[in-house]
């Protein structure tokens, strides 16, 4: 029977929808092809599976070429698949590869031109269809992770002949848009999964160039994890799904709160350490300067000693002059004696006047010598402001005082 099938029908080409796809540990793949009329079991051995340029999954419409055979143990008819491609993919996929090579040669896919995403975006732009499930996924993810971020949608078709022009226009509008919170910090270009034909707008050369030329960082999240478009290669970052694109742009709120708490703790410790260091420095300076009252007391004591030395010097000078006059008086004639007597009387009067100027005698009569905090003499009421500290030097010591308001 197998020989009859092989001689009459092989090779065969079949088109249908993949169902029940599985890959064994050996690398062989097993699935069924079905349409409205029925289904056919298929086996694709590892060598053929390795030649498939995309991830095979249930629901895909594919074209396969192979040979019919009979599985002996069960007597089931099966198709041994020797090549597999998406339905209608032939010329379209070849066009994809040619366009990819051309755009890559222009440098649009170079890693050096990729830009980092903003760490703390305040405004995110989303380019997609208003009716797309991808938009709901993005909005849900952003509300969950970062509800404080503003989101602006720039609508465009994501499938069909009009889609490329609308996507290019939406990207251009987003680049110059200014909302209540300013310009967008990053753009998301998203749509759900589909066949190569469904996603073809994101392989359009104008769209790819618009993504590469955008002044804003662009994250492309088109289709499922296994779907790749040329816009993915031109984007600053490729996300496996629309939800992942939103998550990559919006850091989780709680994570940022923890980072802020950590920074706050570091700043608090830094301020406390700086305050402690300055307090210690202030203590050292205060210990070095000492109390002002102590400095005033030492200055008053020094003044007293200076006054004592001055008085003793004056007494010694007077005695020497007296001795000199007495010696001269004994040698002079009477007339000179009279003149000397007159001079003596003048000298005595001068001595009496000088004695009256002795500061200690003045202090002993109840007077006081006032100085300010700097040790300067206070000679006017204008120098003694209310609340100022002054020193009163008395005959037997120094008395610290403070000026009060008149009438208090």
pTM above the 0.85 mark? no
**Interatomic CA distance for residues 382 and 400, integer angstroms:** 19
Three-state secondary-structure class, residue 157? coil
Grade residue 162 by pLDDT with cuts at 50, 70 and 90. Answer: very high
Q: How confident is the model over 173-216, as pLDDT tens digits?
A: 999 998 887 899 999 999 998 777 788 999 999 999 999 999 99
C-alpha distances (whole Å) from 63 to each of 44, 60, 85, 226 are 13, 10, 5, 19
pLDDT at res. 265: 79
Comparison of pLDDT for 264 and 105, the residue scoring more? 105
> Does the structure show a pLDDT above 80 at 392?
yes
pLDDT at res. 262: 79
Three-state secondary-structure class, residue 386? coil
> Does the structure show a pLDDT above 80 at 133?
yes
Q: How confident is the model over 206-237, as pLDDT tens digits?
A: 999 999 999 999 999 998 877 789 999 999 99
Residue 396's φ and ψ, nearest 5 degrees, are -115, 15
Tokens representing 169 are: 């226009």
Residue 307's φ and ψ, nearest 5 degrees, are -65, -40
> Does the structure show a pLDDT above 80 at 149?
yes
Question: Could you please report the per-residue DSSP string of 44-81?
Answer: E-HHHHTT--S---TT-EEEEEEEEEEETTTTEEEEEE
Query: What percentage of the chain reaches a pLDDT higher than 70?
Result: 87
**Interatomic CA distance for residues 169 and 172, integer angstroms:** 5
pLDDT at res. 408: 63
197 preceded by cis ω (within 30°)?
no
> Does the structure show a pLDDT above 70 at 85?
yes
Q: What is the 3-state secondary structure (H, E, C) of 79-129?
A: EEEEEEEECCHHHHHHHHHHHHHHHHHCCCCCHHHCCCCCCCCCEEEEEEC
């Amino acid at each position: 029977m197998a020989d009859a099938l092989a001689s009459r029908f092989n090779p065969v080409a079949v088109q249908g929808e993949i169902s029940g796809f599985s890959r064994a540990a050996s690398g062989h793949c097993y699935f069924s092809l079905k349409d409205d009329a029925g289904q056919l079991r298929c086996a694709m051995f590892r060598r053929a599976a390795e030649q498939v340029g995309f991830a095979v999954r249930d629901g895909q419409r594919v074209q396969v070429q192979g040979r019919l055979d009979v599985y002996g143990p069960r007597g089931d008819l099966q198709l041994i698949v020797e090549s597999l491609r998406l339905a209608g993919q032939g010329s379209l996929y070849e066009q994809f590869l040619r366009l990819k090579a051309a755009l890559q040669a222009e440098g649009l896919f170079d890693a050096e031109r990729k830009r980092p995403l903003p760490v703390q975006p305040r405004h995110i732009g989303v380019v997609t269809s208003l009716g797309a499930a991808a938009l709901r996924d993005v909005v849900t993810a952003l509300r969950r992770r970062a509800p404080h971020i503003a989101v602006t949608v720039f609508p465009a078709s994501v499938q069909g002949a009009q889609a490329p022009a609308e996507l290019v226009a939406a990207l251009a509008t987003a680049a110059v848009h200014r909302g209540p919170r300013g310009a967008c910090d990053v753009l998301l270009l998203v749509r759900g999964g589909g066949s190569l034909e469904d996603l073809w707008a994101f392989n359009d050369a104008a769209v790819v160039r618009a993504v590469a030329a955008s002044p804003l960082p662009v994250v492309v999240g088109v289709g499922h994890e296994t779907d790749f478009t040329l816009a993915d290669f031109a984007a600053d970052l490729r996300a496996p799904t629309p939800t992942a694109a939103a998550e990559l742009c919006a850091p989780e709120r709680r994570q940022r709160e923890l980072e802020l708490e950590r920074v706050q703790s570091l700043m608090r410790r830094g301020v406390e350490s700086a305050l402690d260091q300055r307090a210690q420095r202030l203590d050292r300076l205060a210990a070095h300067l000492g109390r002002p009252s102590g400095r005033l007391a030492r200055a008053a004591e020094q003044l007293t000693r200076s006054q004592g030395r001055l008085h003793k010097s004056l007494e010694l000078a007077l005695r020497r002059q007296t001795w000199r006059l007495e010696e001269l008086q004994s040698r002079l004639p009477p007339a000179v004696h009279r003149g000397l007597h007159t001079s003596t009387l003048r000298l005595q009067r001068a001595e009496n006047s000088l004695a009256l100027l002795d500061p200690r005698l003045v202090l002993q009569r109840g007077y006081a010598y006032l100085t300010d905090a700097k040790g300067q003499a206070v000679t006017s009421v204008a120098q003694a402001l209310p609340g100022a500290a002054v020193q009163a030097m008395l005959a037997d010591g120094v008395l610290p005082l403070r000026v009060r308001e008149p009438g208090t």
